[in-house]
Chain A
Amino acid sequence: MQLITCPWCGPREETEFRYGGQADLAYPADPSALDDEQWARFVFFRDNPEGAFAERWCHDAGCRRWLRAVRDTRTYVFAETRPYGRTA
């Protein structure tokens, strides 16, 4: 089975994790200034690249911490995982 390396727990099976969608989405600085289309774009529209994709995963069955992963959407290979919110 696919293994995902949790920054805290090490390599674990994918079934221990929960997917959290695209990473690094910035909440609008002034939400009330957005019109409906802009708000819909923030809420519903996500990138769908062919290749490296930064996404959130949560290690539900382990340390229950969120992590940021870069996954190749063609091969499903994880290039990196790190604690969420950290740059290094």
Chain B
Amino acid sequence: MADTSVLTRRHPLESRRAALEALVGDPAITLEPLVSAVDLRVDPDGGALDALAAALGGPLPTAVDTWTGIGDGEALRLGPDEWLLTSAGTDPHRWEDRVDSLAAPFGGMAVDVSAQRVALRLHGAHARELLASGCSIDLRPGRFGRGRCAQTLFGQAPVLLVAHADDDLHLFVRSSFSGYVADRLVDAAALR
């Protein structure tokens, strides 16, 4: 076995950190810390949601494209039988084991997708305006307020938008597309 103890994980957007920090004005774009995440697939009608909510410390979202807080993370409903569950403080493999063992009695399963996405935070009164430069969905606070999330396209890249507040949105993007999204956000911010 190779000695992996000397390997430290780098943020996929480390090379863009300086460019994002150099942005002046509104909104501020920052890199969110990397979190553990699992993709949960389970039948929502089988009682699994109640069991998971009791064990994880918060209700799971009952409507598609909404999210709730659970413990030290978030539960985002991506589809009729699919959730993304994050945890800031649990190791990825432990998080996968825990959620998977909770879902298994209901015929569900969880898969570790921690390395799949990175998150950016757009914070400021013009955050929605900046996102709208590349997103076609209705981002007005009345239609996309706190508690909503949506998988859609930002430019050419699939992203997962999470509304935390009127002026605070998080954007999950696949690591391999994150450079494109960060560059496009920097360009769009410069043009404003």
Contact = CB atoms under 8 A, between A and B. Distances in A.
Interface of A: 1, 8-10, 12-13, 15-16, 61-65, 83
A63 B136 contact: no
B80 A12 contact: no
Contacts of B137: 12
22 contacts: A1-B136, A8-B64, A8-B65, A8-B79, A9-B64, A9-B151, A10-B65, A12-B136, A12-B152, A13-B136, A15-B153, A16-B152, A16-B153, A61-B151, A61-B152, A61-B158, A62-B151, A62-B152, A63-B64, A63-B80, A64-B79, A83-B80
A81 to B, nearest CB: 14
The 4 closest A-B pairs by CB, nearest first: A63-B79, A8-B64, A13-B136, A62-B151
B103 interface: no
A75 B116 CA distance: 40
Q: Is the interface of A mostly helix, strand, loop or mixed?
A: loop
Among A10, A15, A61, A63, the one with the most B-chain Cβ atoms within 10 Å of its Cβ is A63
B80 A62 contact: no
A10 B152 CA distance: 11
B184 to A, nearest CB: 16
Given A1-B136, A61-B152, A63-B79, 13 more contacts: A8-B64, A8-B65, A8-B80, A9-B64, A9-B150, A12-B152, A13-B136, A13-B153, A15-B153, A16-B152, A61-B153, A63-B64, A83-B80
A47 B79 CA distance: 31
Contacts, number: 35
Nearest to A3: B136
A83 B64 CA distance: 13
Interface string B125-141: 00000000000110000
A24 B163 CA distance: 38
B139 to A, nearest CB: 13
A63 B151 contact: yes
A63 B79 CA distance: 5
B93 to A, nearest CB: 25
A78 B64 CA distance: 22
B78 interface: yes
A38 to B, nearest CB: 36
Contacts of B82: 63
